[in-house]
């Protein structure tokens, strides 16, 4: 392995654990706790499970995470395959001063057709096998070495020589390359000051070159050069290089010393960035004739090469879905991802997978309850922080055990988790709900979509949002702010109908706001309500999943 080549590091495959769009406390906390569990199970050495969020975290969830000293998960906005999901060909860039001989050696060693030319990790150009072939085949002017500012040590290396005199770090930057193959008279006529001269080991010619004051003498078949010649050359700062080759071979090899910057391609480079999508990259690549394309990171550093062949081997993102199994509620690009598991407590819906997956769906009030069960089943001790956020998830989803979705299993799990976390259920629930209902600084749009889910029944697409509060006054203020905005929200999201549940936790009732053709009529028919009621008050209805949604879906299906 060349020292210029980076060995590919063995990295763990990342698996995202993510909840639904417009995440609630259960969605976020279950993702965090389940990722933590997976990282403690056998086989975690091969993968790393990372919790993510699919949208903005609401105030209630922020309060919960802050209470237990946890940071919000990073945003996962798209599951489409990106360049960073492709196995790049990693290679360290060469400097512009590297001779084409060394570039060619690296290409042969590493079986590469293209090398990056970089400075401080930034891409300056590309040197290809074709560029090097061109350097050999094209007829170059005799001044090409000086025009390219070729370093003397590179000249020495190219002809397999050694510098006997002079600064090998210096540059040949004036004059031409000439061959002294005749006598002194012809030499004086052809060679000028500052030229580089290729010559045989003939003392008479060497003295003549010193008198002319050339910049460099490349002496062929030079097992030994007289000390007097070296002394005179030193006085005039002439570089003397001895090579074992004959004049013809030396003249043929010397152009290999030219630095890659003279032949590299530096304009109109086609490069891609790590966060670009593979589909977009593939389309561009089909229109270009290049074999390898450079990849840059967010700040422009060179990361490696991508080829058409490597694109075919792009790995899909791996994901575990929690608290949902409906495509409309999933992160964008879910069709392109590899779904490994689904942990949920909702109705079965529209997520499709390429193969069989681990699917756990239980009729309980909260995904957090299921996750806690799995800790127990795997005999993994749950730490207080994880216990605290799972308890909060259950309290949130069951409205502190008031929701009809709550089961004895949910309440038992929440109370046991509260003991482990060292919190009082009632006190913590009150603080959490108060934090979540503090919506005074929110816009109408933000309030509508804090906890919002979209559904499809036949040809009808509708959405249902929910706001929970312990204050009737606050719910009244929210109603004033959002009521006139609902139809705009419906139109902007391409929905036939939109509903917003204003749920009073204390009175265990919901006022339903709605917009869209027949939206109000559907609810009146579904709940057999009087036609002349100004407000749609649903007494005893606090659960979107178990009380509102089944009734509304049933009415739409009829």
pLDDT digits (tens, 9 = 90+) for 200-243: 999 999 999 999 999 999 999 988 899 999 999 999 999 999 99
Mean pLDDT rounded to a whole number for the chain: 90
Residues 77, 80, 82, 84: is their CA dihedral positive or negative?
positive
Alpha-carbon dihedral 331, 335, 340, 341, rounded to 10 degrees: 60
Does 13 or 387 have the greater pLDDT score? 387
pLDDT of residue 11: 63
What are the structure tokens assigned to 226, written together? 């007289």
- Phi and psi dihedrals of 242, rounded to 5? -105, 130
- Phi and psi dihedrals of 195, rounded to 5? -75, 160
- Phi and psi dihedrals of 126, rounded to 5? -130, 140
Residue 60 has pLDDT above 50, yes or no: yes
Residues 54, 316: Cα–Cα separation, whole Å: 18
Model pLDDT for residues 318-339, shown as the tens digit of each residue: 999 999 998 888 999 998 899 9
Q: How confident is the model at residue 268 (pLDDT cuts 50, 70, 90)?
A: confident
Based on its alpha-carbon atoms, the radius of gyration of the chain, rounded to whole angstroms, reads 37
What are the structure tokens assigned to 447, written together? 């309030």
Candidates 117, 92, 106, 121; CA nearest to 259 is: 117
The CATH number assigned to the domain with range 444-557 reads 3.10.310.20
Given a contact cutoff of 8 angstroms between Cβ atoms, the answer to whether 542 and 503 are in contact is yes
Q: How confident is the model at residue 138 (pLDDT cuts 50, 70, 90)?
A: low
Candidates 140, 161, 146, 207; CA nearest to 180 is: 207
Q: Kindly state the average pLDDT of the residues 31-48.
A: 91
Minimum mean pLDDT range among 75-89, 302-316, 413-427: 302-316
Residue 10 has pLDDT above 60, yes or no: no
Residue 8 has pLDDT above 90, yes or no: no
Residue range(s) of every CATH 3.90.1640.10 domain in the chain: 13-81+317-436
Report the relative pairing of strands 13-18 and 47-53 from DSSP bridges. parallel
Given a contact cutoff of 8 angstroms between Cβ atoms, the answer to whether 258 and 131 are in contact is no
Question: Angle at the Cα of 422 (from 420 to 423), degrees rounded to 5?
Answer: 120
- Phi and psi dihedrals of 447, rounded to 5? -65, -45
- Phi and psi dihedrals of 270, rounded to 5? -100, 110
Q: How confident is the model at residue 142 (pLDDT cuts 50, 70, 90)?
A: confident
pTM above 0.85, yes or no: no
pLDDT of residue 437: 74
Q: How confident is the model at residue 353 (pLDDT cuts 50, 70, 90)?
A: confident
Residue 451 has pLDDT above 80, yes or no: yes
Residue range(s) of every CATH 3.40.1390.20 domain in the chain: 149-257
Candidates 345, 419, 371, 367; CA nearest to 33 is: 371
What is the DSSP secondary structure assignment for residue 423, as one 8-state letter?
A: -
What are the structure tokens assigned to 212, written together? 């002319």
**CATH fold for the domain made of 13-81+317-436:** inorganic pyrophosphatase (n-terminal core) (3.90.1640)
Residues 125, 299: Cα–Cα separation, whole Å: 17
CATH of 149-257, one of 3.40.1390.20, 3.40.50.300, 3.60.15.10, 3.40.50.720: 3.40.1390.20
Residue 435 has pLDDT above 70, yes or no: yes
Q: Which CATH superfamily is domain 84-135+262-312 in?
A: CBS-domain (3.10.580.10)
Residue range(s) of every CATH 3.10.310.20 domain in the chain: 444-557
Residues 174, 197: Cα–Cα separation, whole Å: 13
What is the DSSP secondary structure assignment for residue 261, as one 8-state letter?
A: G
Block residue for tokens 């009082």: 424
Candidates 518, 461, 447, 468; CA nearest to 490 is: 461
pLDDT of residue 4: 40
Model pLDDT for residues 189-204, shown as the tens digit of each residue: 889 999 999 999 999 9
Name every residue whose Cβ is closer than 8 Å to that of residue 310 and which is 6 or more positions away in sequence: 86, 87, 88, 89
Residues 425, 418: Cα–Cα separation, whole Å: 6
pLDDT of residue 223: 83
pLDDT of residue 3: 38
* Secondary element (H or E) of residue 316: none
Residue range(s) of every CATH 3.10.580.10 domain in the chain: 84-135+262-312
């Amino acid at each position: 392995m060349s020292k210029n080549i980076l060995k590919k590091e063995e990295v763990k495959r990342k698996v995202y654990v993510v909840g639904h769009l417009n995440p609630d406390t259960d969605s976020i906390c279950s993702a965090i706790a389940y990722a933590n569990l997976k990282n403690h199970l056998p086989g975690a050495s091969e993968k790393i499970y990372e919790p993510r969020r699919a949208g903005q975290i609401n105030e209630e969830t922020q309060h919960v995470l802050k209470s237990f000293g946890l940071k919000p998960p990073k945003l996962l906005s798209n599951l489409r395959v990106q360049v960073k999901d492709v196995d790049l060909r990693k290679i360290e860039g060469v400097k512009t001063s590297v001779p084409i001989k060394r570039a060619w050696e690296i290409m042969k060693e590493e079986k590469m057709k293209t090398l990056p030319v970089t400075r401080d990790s930034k891409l300056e150009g590309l040197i290809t096998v074709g560029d090097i072939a061109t350097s050999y085949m094209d007829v170059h002017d005799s001044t090409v070495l000086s025009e390219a500012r070729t370093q003397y040590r590179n000249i020495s290396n190219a002809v397999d020589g050694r510098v006997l005199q002079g600064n090998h770090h210096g540059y040949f930057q004036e004059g031409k390359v000439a061959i002294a193959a005749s006598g002194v008279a012809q030499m004086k006529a052809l060679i000028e000051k500052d030229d580089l001269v290729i010559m045989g080991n003939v003392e008479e010619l060497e003295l003549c070159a010193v008198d002319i004051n050339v910049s460099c003498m490349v002496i062929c078949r030079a097992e030994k050069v007289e000390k007097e010649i070296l002394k005179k050359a030193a006085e005039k700062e002439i570089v003397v290089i001895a090579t074992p080759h004959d004049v013809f071979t030396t003249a043929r090899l010397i152009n290999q010393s030219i630095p890659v910057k003279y032949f590299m391609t530096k304009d109109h480079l086609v490069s891609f960035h790590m966060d670009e999508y593979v589909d977009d990259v593939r389309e561009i690549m089909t229109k270009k004739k290049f074999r390898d394309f450079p990849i840059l990171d967010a700040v422009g550093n060179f990361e490696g090469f991508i080829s058409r062949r490597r694109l075919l081997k792009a790995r899909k993102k791996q994901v575990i879905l929690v608290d949902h199994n409906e495509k409309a509620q999933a992160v964008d690009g879910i069709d392109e991802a590899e779904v490994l598991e689904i942990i949920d407590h909702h109705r079965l819906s529209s997520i499709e997978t390429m193969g069989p997956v681990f699917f756990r769906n239980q009729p309980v009030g909260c995904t957090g309850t299921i996750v806690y069960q799995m800790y127990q089943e795997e005999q993994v001790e749950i730490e207080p922080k994880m216990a605290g956020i799972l308890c909060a998830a259950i309290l949130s989803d069951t409205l502190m055990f008031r929701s009809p979705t709550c089961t004895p299993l949910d309440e038992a799990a929440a109370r046991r988790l509260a003991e482990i976390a060292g919190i009082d259920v009632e006190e913590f629930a009150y603080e959490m709900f108060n934090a979540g209902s503090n919506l005074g600084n929110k816009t109408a749009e933000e309030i509508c979509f804090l906890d919002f889910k979209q559904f499809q029944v036949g040809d009808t697409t509708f959405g249902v949002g929910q706001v929970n509060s312990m204050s009737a006054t606050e719910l009244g203020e929210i109603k004033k702010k959002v009521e006139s905005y609902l139809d705009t929200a419906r139109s902007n999201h391409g929905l036939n109908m939109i509903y917003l549940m204003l749920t009073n936790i204390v009175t265990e009732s919901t006022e339903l706001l709605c917009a869209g053709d027949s939206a109000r009529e559907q609810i009146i028919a579904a709940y057999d309500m009087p036609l002349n009621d100004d407000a749609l008050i649903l007494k005893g209805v606090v659960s979107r999943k178990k009380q509102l949604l089944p009734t509304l879906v049933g009415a739409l299906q009829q």
